[in-house]
């Protein structure tokens, strides 16, 4: 019960103190009526000029990188793609040729290649999961 009475009295004191301590504009001291800062036109002009210079520099830089992207990077990507196409086409022809080579002409595997301690549980047990018969070849000695 004491807490209830104390909390009510604190609330009442707070409300009344706010009303009584409020001041009117005319009662403030003169230093409180002056603005916290004074405008200095020279500094304001310098700030605006600095911002404009930064915008101008940003426009020039973005224009430069846009030109670099269009005239250097894009042609470089296209040239690389064309080169890669021709290299891969040559590899495809070579792989196509190797499919026609019989196993008797194919070189035998070295002893360290295709070591199987246990057969795989898929397929015939000899080929890996990602076996590609065109690229991978496993010639067993006869």
* Residue 112 phi, psi dihedral angles, 5° rounding: -90, -5
* Residue 113 phi, psi dihedral angles, 5° rounding: -95, 145
Of 111, 116, 140, 141, which is closest to residue 128 (Cα–Cα)?
A: 116
**Segment of 17-26, 69-78, 86-95 carrying the highest mean pLDDT:** 69-78
Q: Is the pLDDT of residue 1 over 50?
A: no
pLDDT at position 92, please?
A: 87
In what helix (H) or strand (E) does residue 47 lie, and over which residues does it extend? helix 41-68
pLDDT at position 142, please?
A: 57
pLDDT at position 23, please?
A: 53
Was domain 43-129 assigned CATH 4.10.95? yes
Q: Contact 100/106 with Cβ under 8 angstroms? A: no
Would you say the pTM of this structure is higher than 0.85?
A: no
pLDDT at position 112, please?
A: 81
| Paired tokens of 73 | 């990077």
pLDDT at position 24, please?
A: 54
């Amino acid at each position: 019960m004491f807490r209830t009475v104390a909390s009510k009295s604190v609330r009442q004191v707070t409300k009344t103190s706010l009303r009584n301590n409020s001041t009117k504009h005319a009662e403030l001291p003169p230093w409180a009526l002056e603005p916290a800062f004074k405008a200095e036109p020279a500094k304001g002009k310098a700030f605006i000029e600095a911002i404009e210079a930064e915008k101008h520099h940003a426009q020039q830089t973005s224009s430069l990188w846009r030109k670099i992207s269009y005239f250097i990077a894009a042609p470089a990507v296209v040239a690389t793609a064309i080169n890669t196409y021709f290299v891969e086409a040559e590899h495809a022809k070579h792989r196509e040729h190797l499919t026609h080579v019989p196993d008797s002409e194919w070189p035998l595997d070295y002893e360290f290649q295709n070591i199987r301690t246990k057969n795989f549980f898929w397929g015939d047990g000899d080929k890996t999961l990602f076996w590609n018969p065109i690229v991978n070849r496993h010639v067993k000695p006869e």
